[in-house]
Amino acid sequence: ASQKHEFKVEMECEKCSATVAKALGKLEDTKFEIDQPNNLVWIESDKDVKVLEDALRKTGKSFTYNGTK
């Protein structure tokens, strides 16, 4: 079952959010929504949080896991 996870990700510009979108787009069966002005990313996935964190880590952006929503 997929869960919706919320992350606060440091995204200062559109290019930053595009980098995050590209990284998350590589994950199979994963939907995501990015709110760049508020630095929030919601990821709907049945993958383990560690997998999602690894994908975000590859962007080089600092982030915080806010939990499931």
Q: Which two tokens stand for residue 48?
A: 């383990």
Write down the pTM of the prediction. Answer: 0.94
Residues 3-60 pLDDT 10s: 999 999 999 999 999 999 999 999 999 999 999 999 999 999 999 999 999 999 999 9
Cα separations (Å) of 56 from 7, 27, 40?
9, 11, 12
Of 6, 7, 51, 57, the residue nearest 27 (C-alpha): 51
Domains of the chain (ranges, CATH numbers) = 3-64 (3.30.70.100)
| CB atoms inside a 10 Å sphere around CB 38 | 9
